[in-house]
Amino acid sequence: MINETNGCTNSSSVSIDEDVALPAITVDADPQIDCDSPTASLDGSNSDSGPNLIYEWSTPDGNFNEATDAPTITALQAGTYTFQITNTDNLCTVTETVTVVENTAVPQADAGTNGILNCDVSSISIGGSNTSQDGPLVYTWTLNGAPIASADSPTFEANQPGLYQLSVLNTDNQCEALDEVEVSIDTILPTATALAPDVLTCTTTSLQLDASGSSQGGSFTYAWSTPDGQLDSPEDVLNPTVSSGGTYTLLVTDNSNGCQQQVSIEVQQDTLSPVADAGAPIRLTCTDTLLNLDATGSSQGSFMYNWSGPGLASGTSGLNPAVQVPGTYLLEVINIQNGCSATDEALVTQDITPPAIAIDAPEMLDCALTEQLLNATGSSQGSDFTYNWTTSNGSITGGANTLQPNIGAPGTYNLLITNTDNGCTSSQSVEVGQDITPPVVAASTPDTLTCTTTSLQLDASGSSSGPVFDYNWSTSNGILQSGTNTPTPLVSSGGLYLLTLTNTENNCISTLEVSVVQDTIAPVAEAGSPQELNCDFPVLSLSGIGSSTNGFTYNWDGPGLLSGTNGLSPEVNQPGMYTLAVTNDFNGCAATDVVAITQDTITPTIAISDPQVLNCDLTAQQLQAGNSSQGTEFQYTWTTPNGNINSGGQTLQPTINAPGEYTLLIENTSNGCDALASIVVEQDTITPEVAALTPDTLTCAVTNVAIDASASSSGPDFDYNWSTSNGQIISGGQTNSPTVSSGGTYTLVLTNTANFCSSELTIPVVQDTLAPVAEAGTTAELNCDSPSLTLSGSGSSTGGFSYEWQGPGVLNGGGTLNPAVNLPGTYTLVVTNNFNQCTAMDAVEITQDVNLPSVVFTPPGMLTCAVETVLLDASASTQGDNFTFNWSTLDGNFVGSTNSLSVSIDEPGTYDLTIENMLTGCSNSNQVVVDQDIIAPVAEAGNTFVLECWEDTANLDGSNSQQGPNITYQWTTIGGGFTSGTTTSAPVINAPGLYTLLVTNTENGCSAQDQVLVTQPVPEASFDLIQPPCFGDPGTIRFPQVTGGTPPYEFSIDGGDSYQAGSIFTNVTPGNYELIVRDENGCTYEASAAIIQPDSTVAIIEPAEATIQFGESYTINGQTNLIPSEIADIFWSNPGSLSCDDCLRPTARPLRTTDYLVTVVSQNGCIDQAPFRLFVDRTQTVYVPNAFSPNGDGTNDLFYIFARSGVIENIRAFRIYNRWGEPVFEGYNLSPNNPEHGWDGTFRGEQMNNAVFAWHAEIEFIDGTVEHFKGDVQLSR
């Protein structure tokens, strides 16, 4: 500052600071509003903060509902939002803008139209065509609020009624649409019912079924069917006619919903014919001129009897008519209840002649026929004849006093017949012969049946053969395919097969049981649990480890088998059904199992924008892939094989700073699927040219070479730099021609210093200093097989090489790879490479072995029946891994393996053993002899005989068998029994059966057996029970047939307390009975039976009386203890007033008090009755009013007669008079309770005044009676 007045000056200074620093601003935001996120958070909290900073949010088109001066706000709608920060210290302001977008488009859900399920329609398709299809949509169905598994498409096949809801979810914005559809169901079954029908009888041959109570209408159809009856009319009506008892089924179909219902009824048919038994034939004789027929075996009770014949003397309508003439008599029995009948004939003969005798030629006794009945039944027979058989050299075992004696030995038999009525006799003799030689039976052991060997032939060709021998194979647990009557049948199942060989000439039989083993056990096939292929697991290993292992073959079949199809863990890469087949290698049996493999391989979407080209100015840039799949389930990974990712390698916008190929991998973590896309970032940087000639090869003679790269770019701007990691650079490493002394890889980096671009070249230098391979071969041995050897140098280098062998015994080929030698010692091979003169050597040792093995035997034992195999022991001989053993024999037989020094044999003979040293070829032999003792003892079980029921025990006779201190006996039996002596030659037995004697020589173990058959014929019988038809009636027990045993027979029904000769027991009271049939030898047939007392037939009416008003009806409550099928007939007295006269509960409508009597008849003809009285109250049932008001108000305007419905037949006349006796109304043949038949209070068209009028009526009632009624009536308007 200058003072102009005095010229003085002064100065001072001030410092002015500048503060224009802007605050830091950062906004983090989720810029999308969708259905899952209805708001967007705008977060500026990572910006600068402090007391001098003011925040302000603003928007021209958005919205928020909170203070705008906070760093973080919530945007409520799409729009542009601006965040401003002001520094109050320097008033500097900074802003940042965020755009929020809205994605709330809701997809469309169309669940379709409502539907109905019924008996025909089990499922319907729901889901309409208007449902959204495009975009990342997820479809979900629920039924009545519950999710439906696997229902993930716009449509669904519904098979249950209920409310179905379809949800369509857009996974991009989580917006969801819902729609519902109702599926109802109509499965109401029609009604099918039928009334119980009547019973068919011999007189009632058809009836009509009644199903009118079933559903009826145009939508219903009917179908009758029967498995055992007979439909006579159309099957599609409700009331068909049938003519046979059986089960009838009605099927009712409702065609409106396809539903069906059926009902079955039983039609009973009583067409059982009665029993007509005219009795056994009877015989008239000179003393018996009049006899009674016996028909008491016929049905008795409600039956009629009618006899006809040539000589009926009396009793033609009873069960025991008298006859006096021989001939045939016919009995007819008629069932009164069902009209069915039956007939039978009785033969009446006459015998007044002397006895005749005739003996049939007997059969020859053999193994099957050990005894027989001689047959003299052609002789005279009857109660007047006696028979006596005798023999001097045979054996009569029973029936010596009958026409059919049982004989058990060959010989001459004489019959004497005596007629006791006339004393006449006749005699005759017959000769019986015998042949009991058995056939020979033998069979070889069969193979084993498997799943591949499904059948095989048994071989019994060593058995007796010829036209007289019959083969019969049988089995209880196997399967015979063919040839059951040949020596070689074909079988197809494991089991025991019995061959029965019969000599048809003498019926002698031999049997042999052959066991066939079957191995058809199927393996276990387990294909494992279902799995899913996805992008993480494009290949899966199936697991069949639960299947059978060891000895099994595996085969997988399916759409995507990669490997391991014949193992338990194949690899697959496609979805589908995979089948594992497991086969047992031994028996060929197989099993399969299936496993399902599914797949989820939906890949993400990937989109990468084209990048810019890198150059010297642009050394880095940000790649853009924002249009690819986004969401929390996606992971992003950038990779490059030749570029460089600077940052953001896990985002959609990475920063790169090098050219190259960049690959984006997007992985969907929900299914492991990924998508891969690549882009190439280019770089404009011209590189120098680099080239080099191929260098010479380094060898033992050439120890260094120069690499010539003079063809590369050259000049002052180019720098050369050679390097190697495995070679050796001697000189020139910075020039275009370096010198190297070692094979390896050499790299030249040529750099253009003007643009810093460089090129690189790698060139190999080959070095051939490899020594040759010298391989003299493996150690060898001179021996008996090989007195000289050829050495093998074939493992040595070949082609361009020379060879030299050195050793003690080179015969020839010393300059080759395979010289011949004949002396043991060390041989050396020298190999020289003719190209590089490198050498190598190897040696081999040759040994020698010419020693013979030794063959030494331990003395063998002797073969016997007990000792079936003998061990030949040569274990003291030379042995070892290099020795082989060869056993042989010309007359013996080996059992099992012969590949060791100890072998088993089962035949006598001479056995040779040869031992050879496989290493040397030297061998030696020796032999041993084996003897045998297998002579069997003699076994004789004795002759066949009969054990009578009267005898408790008997002795078997084996005394003709071989004896001695070294002999033992053992008896066994099939069906028989011993009391003692089973180890002696004569045991005591107590039962018939097949007895076998086994005789054994304890010195050699050999045995023999023989059999003897002991028989005891026992009678067999059948019996019939005729139960009492009604309560209190007796029953009948009869024996219609007896077989076996020895006649004559006796019969008892009291457990043997008493016997009778007749086979029919009549008048048997109800109770339990022990039945016995006893033959001549005391042998019995026993059984239990019961004659059952039937229930009484009961008929009752409850109550027994009732009262009704005249004209009313009443349902009588008849009851019985019989079920409908047991009722034969129902009938009532006074049926004229009943609705039915053959039912239990008729409706009665009598006009007077009436007594009724119901009679119930059972199917057996049993009867009971019950009375009932119905009182009829005939008290006045007519009512006539005493006033009426014909004023037209609709109430009581007419005067007429009232009565109980159905009581009045006719109102013959109805007259009304005024007080002077003049008739004002007349009506004839009127009906009661009918206003149209009344008086309206007028006379000659004029209304009558209020007054009292007299009336008179003549009324006829429904029972025909006529009564007169009179009175007066007040007319009041």
C-alpha 1173/C-alpha 1262 separation (Å) is 21
Average pLDDT over residues 1124-1148: 90
C-alpha 304/C-alpha 560 separation (Å) is 88
C-alpha 561/C-alpha 540 separation (Å) is 10
Give per-residue pLDDT as tens, 231-288: 888 888 989 998 888 898 989 998 888 889 888 888 888 788 888 898 889 887 766 7
Average pLDDT over residues 182-197: 86
φ/ψ of residue 178, rounded to 5: -125, 145
Q: Are 1004 and 865 in contact (CB under 8 A)?
A: yes
Q: Are 802 and 834 in contact (CB under 8 A)?
A: yes
pLDDT for residue 1180 = 63
Banded model confidence at residue 571, pLDDT cuts 50, 70, 90:
very high
Reference 408, options 421, 422, 418, 394; nearest CA is 394
Which of 1014-1018, 1045-1049, 1121-1125 ranks highest by mean pLDDT?
1121-1125
pLDDT for residue 746 = 92
Give per-residue pLDDT as tens, 897-931: 988 899 999 999 999 999 998 888 888 899 999 99
What residues form DSSP beta bridges with 1168? Answer: 1160
pLDDT for residue 641 = 93
C-alpha 1173/C-alpha 779 separation (Å) is 133
Q: Which amino acid is at 956?
A: L
Q: Give 112-168 as a DSSP string.
A: ---EEEESS---EEE--TTS--SSSEEEEEEETTEE-TT--SS-EEE-S-EEEEEEE
List the beta strands (DSSP E) in 336-410.
Answer: 341-350, 372-373, 385-391, 396-398, 406-407
Is 1 a residue whose pLDDT tops 70? no
217 to each of 117, 253, 275, how far by Cα in Å? Answer: 22, 11, 50
Q: Which amino acid is at 1153?
A: T
Reference 944, options 916, 976, 981; nearest CA is 976
Is 319 a residue whose pLDDT tops 90? no
Which DSSP helix (H) or strand (E) runs through 1187? strand 1187-1188
Q: What is the 3-class SS of 750-809, one letter each residue?
A: EEECCCCEEEEEEEEECEECCCCCCCCCCCEEEECCCCCEECCCCCCCCCCEEEEEECCC
Q: Determine what percent of the chain falls in helix, strand and coil, rounding each to the nearest 5.
A: 0, 45, 55
Is 836 a residue whose pLDDT tops 80? no
C-alpha 890/C-alpha 521 separation (Å) is 41
C-alpha 567/C-alpha 580 separation (Å) is 10
pLDDT for residue 212 = 86
Give per-residue pLDDT as tens, 100-146: 888 888 889 898 999 888 888 888 989 888 898 888 888 999 988 88
C-alpha 843/C-alpha 89 separation (Å) is 100
Two structure tokens written together for 530: 């279902």
| Cβ count near 591 (within 10 Å) | 18
Reference 1062, options 1052, 1047, 1054, 1072; nearest CA is 1052
Average pLDDT over residues 415-432: 85
pLDDT for residue 1059 = 92
φ/ψ of residue 1206, rounded to 5: 85, 5
Reduce the DSSP state of residue 347 to 3 states and report it: strand
Q: Which amino acid is at 349?
A: T
Reference 236, options 249, 224, 218, 248; nearest CA is 224
What residues form DSSP beta bridges with 680? Answer: 661
Average pLDDT over residues 1144-1164: 89
φ/ψ of residue 895, rounded to 5: -115, 120
Two structure tokens written together for 349: 């003969």
- Answer with the residue of higher pLDDT: 1205 or 756: 1205
Which DSSP helix (H) or strand (E) runs through 680? strand 673-681
| Cβ count near 1124 (within 10 Å) | 13
List the beta strands (DSSP E) in 8-71.
Answer: 28-29, 32-34, 40-43, 53-58
Banded model confidence at residue 637, pLDDT cuts 50, 70, 90:
very high
Q: Are 705 and 683 in contact (CB under 8 A)?
A: no
Which DSSP helix (H) or strand (E) runs through 1261? strand 1251-1261
Give per-residue pLDDT as tens, 40-81: 888 888 888 888 888 888 888 888 767 778 888 888 888 898
Two structure tokens written together for 17: 């600071």
Give per-residue pLDDT as tens, 580-614: 999 988 888 999 999 999 888 888 999 999 998 88
**Contacts of 526 by beta carbon, 8 Å cutoff, 6+ apart:** 544, 545, 546, 547, 580, 593
Q: Are 1166 and 1194 in contact (CB under 8 A)?
A: no
Is 8 a residue whose pLDDT tops 80? no
Q: Give 579-631 as a DSSP string.
A: EEEEEETTT--EEEEEEEEEEE-PPPP---PPPPPB-SS---EE---TTS--S
Q: Are 248 and 264 in contact (CB under 8 A)?
A: yes
Average pLDDT over residues 618-633: 89
Reference 338, options 239, 386, 268; nearest CA is 268
Peptide linkage before 860 cis (omega within 30 of 0):
no
Is 1216 a residue whose pLDDT tops 90? yes
Two structure tokens written together for 532: 């899913």
Banded model confidence at residue 1119, pLDDT cuts 50, 70, 90:
very high
pLDDT for residue 778 = 92
Across 776-811, b (16+ Cβ under 10 Å) vs e yields bbeebbbbbeeeebbbbbeebbeeebebebebebbe
Q: Is the torsion defined by CA of 446, 448, 450, 453 positive or negative?
A: negative
Burial class (CB in 10 A: 0-12, 13-18, 19+), 205: exposed
| Cβ count near 510 (within 10 Å) | 18
φ/ψ of residue 29, rounded to 5: -150, 150
- List the helix and strand counts (H, then E) for the chain: 0, 106
- 841-845, 969-973, 1127-1131, 1152-1156: least confidently modelled range: 1152-1156
Residues of the chain above pLDDT 70, percent? 99
C-alpha 348/C-alpha 282 separation (Å) is 5
C-alpha 148/C-alpha 162 separation (Å) is 12
Give per-residue pLDDT as tens, 769-816: 788 999 999 998 888 888 888 999 999 989 888 999 999 888 898 889
pLDDT for residue 175 = 87
What residues form DSSP beta bridges with 872? Answer: 903
Q: Which amino acid is at 404?
A: Q
1166 to each of 336, 751, 1127, how far by Cα in Å? Answer: 12, 135, 10
